[in-house]
Amino acid sequence: MLESLRERAIRRERMDGEDLPAAELAQAYRRLRTLNRLFAAAGPIRCGVGRLWIDAGRPTRLSVLDVGAGSGDVNRALLRWADRNRVELTIRLVDRREEACREAMRLFRGEKRVAVERGDLFDLPERSADIVTAAQFVHHFGSDELPGVIRRMLDASRLGVVVSDLRRHVVPWAAVWLTARIITRNPSIRIDGPLSVARGFRDEDWDRLASEGGFRDLRYWRKAPYRYVVVIRKNAL
């Protein structure tokens, strides 16, 4: 049944539980890569990192830390962006789940610019990387938790934060619901795919976050198809 999309859904996603079978999780990460490819998940992160890179004066070296990275697949586009712009890029993928780290290590095997680390955002040292990114990660948190999450990401960054997440709208909800049922029988994908959209955002959610969190330079743009890119410069706080 179609979720009410007027407000962010509060029901927790299946993959946020602690007792899912390892095989189901591993398959879910692989199917998420398919959804990310079909729905152009990499574009907003690449766009946001590019904006902060330009703001910083186009440095020749750049470090990115992706929190809640899953298998980290969206970062493949970031590596291609770095090649085109002759940027010496290093990426750290951080996720608290062992299964996610295992998938990421398999995906980036042999890629020396990418390191995988099991860990938690809230345990990261300050200034851990130039840019801290989060792709479809922050919708896992409630609206009252978001200011603390973004503040912690900013603490871990030197230049700023890039967030990519889902726009809450009936079109992507229906598209993800249908696509998930076509590509897999995995219950985590079939349940969490449309629920992720229902836990997503609208313009007013980012406006409220900027106001309540005191993020004066929070900028956001809608990106096709039905995504947001959010950029916060650290030195503008």
Give 15-25 pLDDT, tens digit per residue: 998 888 989 99
Residue 181 in domain: no
In tens, the pLDDT along 80-136 reads 999 999 999 999 999 999 999 999 999 999 999 999 999 999 999 999 999 999 999
Residue 216 in domain: yes
Domain that holds residue 229: 42-167+202-236
Query: Phi and psi for 45 in degrees, rounded to 5?
Result: -65, -45
DSSP 10-76: -SPPGGGSS---HHHHHHHHHHHHHHHHHTT-HHHHHHHHHHHHHHTT--SEEEEEEET-TT-TTHH
Does 163 have pLDDT greater than 60? yes
Residue 28 in domain: no
Residue 213 in domain: yes
- Measured CA to CA, the distance from residue 201 to residue 104 in angstroms comes to 27
Residue 206 in domain: yes
Q: What is the CATH number of the domain that holds 207?
A: 3.40.50.150
| Per-residue pLDDT band at 237 (split at 50, 70, 90) | very low
Q: Report the share of the chain in percent with pLDDT over 90.
A: 92
In tens, the pLDDT along 28-48 reads 999 999 999 999 999 999 999
As for how many domains the chain has, the answer is 1
- Could you tell me which of 133, 40, 48, 55 has the C-alpha nearest to residue 92? 133
Residue 225 in domain: yes
Residue 182 in domain: no
Paired sense of beta strands 157-166 and 227-233, if any = antiparallel
The pLDDT score that the predictor gives to residue 224 is 86
| Per-residue pLDDT band at 2 (split at 50, 70, 90) | low
Residue 15 in domain: no
